[in-house]
């Protein structure tokens, strides 16, 4: 009799555990939720007018000795610096890019050898000005006082972060609008933003205006007429475009 009761008790206990297990499993299935999200890309574009112009200039002088080449080239630089200062350019905005004094050589076609041909002093520098609409007047002035070449002019913005932040804000607004449009098309209510990821964009904050003017070798030793009227170099520039991107995820 005791043995039979024990068997019944074991069977009853087993049934209870199984049932409880079934209920637990059912409860887990019914409480499971699916997270619904919308992921969108946003892009922002801002255009800014340049406020800095950089003029790339070269001065070089060839003489029989290194000392004479250096002295004459230094005199040219002094004349150019004075002319620029007269236009309001400060010392810190005349920036040396490269300086060298090199032994020059020429090829003797009869002997088929290279022979010494004096020395050349070389000085390249950048002039930065904020008067971007009148870059031509700076070019006209330095062209009269001994430059060898005016290689190029570029335009840039002095505070790119200011405009990048604006582009980033525009990218977020663009993503918000895209997410709202998708939510409306799905017939759902757009929830809050779950995550935001900034997409790094390559931005060039400087734009080159191109090659400007250069003395030919034939004109290198010809004195320029300082009384001649300015050539009125008309340098045009374009606005600089700054872009930013984001990836945003919303619940719905």
**CATH number (domain holding residue 178):** 3.30.110.170
* CATH code for position 97: 3.30.70.2970
pLDDT of residue 38: 95
| Same domain? 169 vs 149 | no
| Same domain? 56 vs 141 | yes
Last-in-domain residue among 122, 156, 190: 156
- The Cα 247–Cα 199 span in angstroms is 7
At residue 22 the predicted structure's pLDDT band, cuts being 50, 70 and 90, is: very low
- Mean pLDDT score of the chain: 81
- How many CA atoms within 13 Å lie on the side-chain side of 193? 16
Using the predicted structure, report yes or no on whether residue 240 has a pLDDT greater than 60: yes
| Same domain? 168 vs 90 | no
Please tell me the total count of domains within the chain.
2
pLDDT tens digits for range 51-96: 999 999 999 999 999 999 999 999 999 999 999 999 999 999 999 9
| Same domain? 66 vs 128 | yes
pLDDT of residue 223: 35
Last-in-domain residue among 89, 123, 156: 156
- For 186, the domain range is 34-49+159-214+238-252
Model pTM score: 0.69
């Amino acid at each position: 009799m005791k043995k039979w009761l024990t068997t019944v008790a074991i069977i009853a206990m087993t049934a209870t555990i199984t049932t409880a297990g079934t209920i637990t499993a059912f409860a887990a299935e019914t409480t499971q939720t699916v997270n619904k999200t919308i992921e969108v890309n946003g892009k922002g574009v801002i255009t800014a007018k340049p406020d800095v112009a950089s003029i790339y200039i070269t001065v070089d002088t060839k003489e029989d000795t290194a000392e004479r080449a250096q002295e004459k080239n230094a005199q040219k630089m002094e004349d150019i610096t004075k002319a620029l200062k007269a236009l309001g350019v400060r010392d810190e905005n005349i920036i040396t890019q490269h300086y060298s004094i090199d032994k020059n050589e020429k090829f003797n076609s009869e002997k088929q050898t290279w022979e010494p041909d004096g020395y050349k002093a070389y000085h390249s520098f950048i002039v930065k000005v904020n008067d971007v609409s009148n870059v031509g007047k700076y070019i006209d002035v330095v062209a009269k006082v001994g430059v060898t070449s005016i290689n190029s002019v570029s335009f840039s913005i002095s505070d790119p972060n200011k405009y990048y932040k604006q582009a980033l804000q525009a990218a977020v607004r663009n993503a918000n609008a895209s997410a709202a449009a998708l939510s409306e098309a799905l017939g759902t209510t757009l929830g809050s933003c779950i995550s935001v990821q900034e997409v790094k964009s390559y931005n060039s904050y400087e734009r080159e205006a191109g090659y400007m003017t250069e003395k030919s070798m034939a004109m290198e030793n010809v004195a320029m007429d300082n009384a001649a009227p300015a050539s009125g170099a008309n340098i045009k520039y374009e606005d600089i475009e700054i872009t930013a991107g984001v990836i945003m995820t919303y619940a719905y």
